[in-house]
Structure formats: C-alpha cells, structure tokens
Structure 1
Amino acid sequence: MSPAFLAGPGDARLVTAPLLQLGWTSPASACGVQLESPCRAAFLARSCGGGWELSVRAKTTARSSWSATFGARAPAEIIAAATTPAAAALAGHSALHSCGSGAPRRILDLADIATASGHGWRSPSGHAVLEIDNDPASAARWVVTVKSAAPERGGWRAVFSHGSPFYVLDAVTEAITSHTPVARNVRELPGKHLTDLSTPTAGGGPLPRCRAPHPRPARPTVRKR
C-alpha cells in the first residue's frame, strides 16, 4: 500500500529486528517493548498504548542528547528509518554524524512536496505536514504530523528534539515521501481511509484508489410452509 505514512503501524519487528541484530537487548518489562543498546547510550521503548520513544544520550561532549517519539499509528517502516541508522551509528558501523544547521538535505531536494508557510512542507494530498523549528528554546526541532495526529482518523505524530542528527531526519523524510508500497494485511488498514491508499499492480502501476467495502444487503428470509 502507498503512501506508507497512511498505511497504519504494520509489523513491529521491522523496528526491533535490526536493533537485535546489532546487539540490543531486551530487559524485563511488564508492559510494551524495551530495548537497550550495547553501549547503554540509547533506549527504545514502546508503551502499552502503542507509541514509541527513542532516547539517545550523548557519548561525548561534542554530541547532543536527543530523542524521538512516534504515535501509535506511525508505520513501522518510518520508525525504523530513524532507529536503524541511529543504532548503526552508535555501533560504529556508519560514518554518519550530526552536523550543520537548517533543514535536512533530503527535504530540500524533494520535487513532490509543496512549500507551506514558514519552515514547513505539506504533502500534495495535504495529509502530512513536516515542520522545522530552529529556535533552541523550543523542545521540538522536527515535527511530522499526519491527519492532524488524530488516531480516529488514522493520524499520528512524530517529534524529534533538538540535537537529532540530520542523517536520521533525512532517512525519516525519505521514508515518508517514498512512493514505494509497504506490505499490509488488509484487515489492519485504517478502514475509514482506504480511499487515500493505492495498491501496485503486477506491472508496477497503481490500481485505482481503494474503496471501503460496502455492506452487503441482507437476504430476505423465506419462511417454509
């Protein structure tokens, strides 16, 4: 299904499996999912309500601590776009690092995002909004809002604090704007919003937008005499 940002949560193992492969461990937890990095500088938690939080503590004075939170309806593919490169960088498997100021490079190169007022970008459908705040006094630096973050509408929000590395923001932005379909069980899709999703055909093109199924009319009951 596409776009991914409207496809619902999906399989949580897309988030946790790459971290487990990098040596993250799961301490005992009475509720939700908790994973800790081998260096104990990062922690990933999933609440009983389904929301996710990634917290990364500074390992040196040259780096900043940062965190990212995702609503319960956030797709696993988009969460993994943040958690996987962050874990790889902590493990020393990547030369990526936090650098510069302004907006992530990826969003500046997008051709299919319409510029909104201020430091914000809106998807062509209007369902997703990405906003950046360079004010150090603000707690949030980069905010993604889908469908006004209303869960009953299939919406969600992701908030990245100041200090969030640009390679993470770039990866998340690319995942949000990607046209690559994601796999979903049709029963897990947000039923009220199937008209916003499309499915690929065997030839690679999209099918017409999905339509929510209409209830079948009840068959008349015929009494036997």
Structure 2
Amino acid sequence: MPPAPETVEVDFITPRHLAGGGDPAWITVPLHRACGWSHGNDPLMPRVILSSPDQKALLRLEPDPDGQWWTLHHAQEPDRPAWYASFGARTPVELIAAVTDTLTDPAPAASTPSDPYEPLRQAGWWPAHADDGFVSPDATAFVQRTGSPEDPGAWFVTAILGPDRPVWQARFSEHAPPHLITAFTRALANPEPVLRTDGPRALATRDPDIVTRNTTDVAAADVAGVLEERVRRLAGRSTPSPTPLPTDLAPQANRGRVL
C-alpha cells in the first residue's frame, strides 16, 4: 500500500489585511522567473534587491525594525516624475503582489482614470468622517489620500487593531500611478481568504471576533504547486499584438518598380 501523501496544515484567514505578511517568495520568485527581474547577491546582508529589465524599477526587501520592509522605487519617465511605494512588514504579500503584477503587466494600462477608492466603495467600505478617506466595515483598515483636490499628496493605507495598535502601513508617493494604487485597494477589499502555513503566531490578533481562521490539511505538493502555477500564469502574459495596418497601407515587398 503506497504511503499517504505528506500534508501541510493550512490556515485560510479573513480579513486578509490581518493575515500577516506571508511568504516573500510570492512576490520575489515570479518577478525573477516570470518577469525577468535581476537580483543582487550579497550573502552577508539579510536583504533582497530586484531590478526590472529596463533598470527603471527597484524593489528592496530589507528587514528594518523601525521602518518599512518593502520599498519599490521607479525612475522618472517622460509622462511621470519618479515615484515610490513602501510596505510594512505585516503587509500581506498578496496585496503587494497586486502592485508588482500590475506594474509588470505587458498589456497597456487602461486609458480611463483609475480611482483607488472605487473598489472600497463596491466592497461596502464607508467614508471616514474625520479625514478624507475610507474605512473598512470592521474599522480595522483605513485608506486616505493626503493633500487637497487642487494639490493632492501621498496615499496611506493603514491596518489597525485600535487607536494605538497599528499593524502595518503602505505608502504611495504623490506621483505613484493611480492604477497601481487601485490594484492594491482592490486586493485589500477582496473578501476571499488568503492561505498561511506558518500557524497563528503571524496573525496580528487571534481574537475570533476580528479574525476568522479556518484550518485544514492540504497535500504538500498542492501547496508548493500554488506558487509554481502563479509563475506560469505570469510568464504566460504577452504583449498584445499590434493592430494590423489596412491592406491599402501595408508595405508590399513584391511590388515592381515603375520605370
């Protein structure tokens, strides 16, 4: 009789913004293997640095007890000044991956303006009364843009357990592309659970009135296969084919010369 397949205890956590950081490989492995980002190698430093093929974007993962663990910097482009985003240690990797997946998508961004608040409205978040922004229905997450309509500033996304109990914060500079921020807020508002394999110790709280944790045994091969499938899916994205020229405008290589 063949041995039973090895299993892993998997937790499915909601709300996802209180599920803990998760495995950084969810972000770094697809960037390297599917998107062609190169990485530096310094075995003496506990950090990861990935740079995009065009050298315009740099992602740094550096454990910092006093600051943001993840930082994403992007160089200036003809239509946009340089910008950055940063994420605290307990920011779920699924939310950060929504940003990097959108950034590396070869398909052009939609021409219509993106509103980062729209996914929150659709998910039942409510406007904050004291500040301009939106608050999650359970009051454990808050999204705000600083500044004014005439002079907009940076975006802040904060997960909290109370007035003096911050869990993590994400920051997007004033020039960060709105469609990337919208990708983040869409992932944030997604009601689907995220899976974790590191047990309850990584949770911001074990209070069952705040966090729902459903545990089940899953085949270890299936757990490992989730990341591989993600890499394959992202690698399969391709740049849309250009629109063919009308027949009467297309070059005709075999047309004879008229003398």
Cα distance 1:15–1:98, how it changes in 2: closer, same or farther (>3 A)?
Answer: farther
Alignment deviations for residues 175-212 of structure 1 (CA, whole Å, 9 cap, x no partner): 1111111001224432643422114599xxxxxxxxxx
Q: Which amino acid aligns with 2:192?
A: T
Cα distance 1:16–1:106, how it changes in 2: closer, same or farther (>3 A)?
Answer: farther
- For residue 109 of structure 1, report the CA deviation from its aligned partner: 4.2
**For residues 98 and 149 of structure 1, what CA distance do their matches in structure 2 show?**
39
Q: Percent identity?
A: 30
The residue number in structure 1 matching 2:102 is 85
Q: Equivalent residue of 2:39, what SS?
A: coil
The residue number in structure 1 matching 2:73 is 55
The residue number in structure 1 matching 2:83 is 66
**For residues 149 and 58 of structure 1, what CA distance do their matches in structure 2 show?**
38
1:75 to 92, 99, 113: 92
The residue number in structure 1 matching 2:193 is 181
Q: Which amino acid aligns with 1:66?
A: W
Cα distance 1:171–1:48, how it changes in 2: closer, same or farther (>3 A)?
Answer: same
Q: Equivalent residue of 1:144, what SS?
A: strand
Q: Which has the higher contact order (CA 8 A, sep 6+)?
A: 2
Paired residues in the alignment total 194
Is it true that 1:131 corresponds to 2:144 in the alignment? yes
Q: Mind listing any 5+ residue stretches in structure 1 that lack a counterpart?
A: 203-225
The structure with more radius of gyration: 2
Alignment deviations for residues 24-69 of structure 1 (CA, whole Å, 9 cap, x no partner): 010123231110001000000011237100011123x212221100
Conserved? CA contact 2:120–2:189, under 8 Å: no
Q: Equivalent residue of 1:23, what SS?
A: coil
Cα distance 1:170–1:112, how it changes in 2: closer, same or farther (>3 A)?
Answer: same
The residue number in structure 2 matching 1:214 is none
Matches within 5 A, 1:1-225: 1-20=13-32, 21-29=34-42, 30-49=45-64, 51-59=69-77, 61-88=78-105, 93-96=106-109, 100=113, 103-104=115-116, 106-107=118-119, 109-117=121-129, 118-135=131-148, 140-147=153-160, 155-185=167-197, 186-190=199-203, 192-195=205-208, 196-199=210-213
Q: Equivalent residue of 1:155, what SS?
A: strand
TM-score of the superposed pair, with normalisation by structure 1 = 0.75
Q: Which amino acid aligns with 2:56?
A: A
Conserved? CA contact 1:74–1:157, under 8 Å: yes
CA RMSD across the alignment: 2.8
TM-score of the superposed pair, with normalisation by structure 2 = 0.66
Q: Which amino acid aligns with 1:40?
A: Q
